[in-house]
């Protein structure tokens, strides 16, 4: 018998003022995106801002639906818009933030499993890590160097 150790690091910044400027700027755009969330069922507003390698930024927010599974997370709304329109440009980073007016969050939101899997696909496609910045309105900010760090032991096209 042997064991496989899965190690990953997430950087924690206690305040937004501590973030490198380009990360703070992208996070601010994610804040803006959260205002466009359509979330009449959960009232949980999520905003994402995705920056391509050429510097261009695409924003997304969660879009819910009366038929629950038909809705989509903020991260994938931004991701699929970006790659559908710029299929040949790598993704540099993505910032995601959540606002929950009923129960203000003090810990960062982290992308759900579906979003991690979707983002990982493009890390592989472009052969370039995607930095993930995670935040709430207040409290610390998490920064992961890559999607692979958030989804260790993952299923990829290497298996196909
Ligand atoms: N949501 C996101 O947009 N991103 C995540 O990473 C987690 C959850 C959305 C989906 C749904 O509209 C609401 O938050 C509550 O789950």
Q: Indicate the domain borders of the chain.
A: 10-151
DSSP H or E segment with residue 98: strand 91-99
Residue with tokens 């997370």: 73
First-to-final CA distance of the chain: 27
Query: Does the C-beta of 75 come closer than 6 Å to ligand 1?
Result: yes
For residue 75, indicate whether it is catalytic. Answer: yes
Walk along the chain (160 residues) and give the pLDDT tens digit of each residue: 999 999 999 999 999 999 999 999 999 999 999 999 999 999 999 999 999 999 999 999 999 999 999 999 999 999 999 999 999 999 999 999 999 988 999 999 999 999 999 999 999 999 999 999 999 999 999 999 999 999 999 999 999 9
* SS3 category, 111: coil
The CATH code of domain 10-151 reads 3.40.140.10
User: Which one of the listed residues 18, 22, 56, 75 is annotated catalytic?
Assistant: 75
């Amino acid at each position: 018998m042997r064991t496989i150790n899965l190690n990953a690091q997430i950087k924690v910044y206690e305040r937004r003022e501590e973030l490198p400027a380009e990360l703070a700027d992208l996070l601010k755009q994610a804040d803006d995106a959260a205002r466009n969330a359509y979330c009449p069922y959960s009232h949980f507003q999520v905003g994402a801002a995705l920056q391509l390698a050429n510097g261009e930024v695409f924003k997304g927010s969660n879009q819910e639906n009366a038929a629950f599974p038909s809705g989509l997370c903020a991260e994938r709304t931004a991701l699929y818009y970006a790659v559908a329109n710029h299929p040949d440009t790598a993704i540099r980073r993505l910032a995601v933030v959540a606002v929950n007016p009923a129960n203000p969050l003090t810990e960062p939101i982290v992308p759900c499993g579906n979003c991690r899997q979707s983002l990982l696909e493009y890390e592989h496609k472009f052969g370039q890590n995607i930095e993930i910045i995670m935040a709430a309105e207040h409290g610390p900010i998490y920064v992961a160097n890559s999607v692979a760090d958030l989804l260790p032991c993952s299923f990829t096209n290497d298996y196909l």
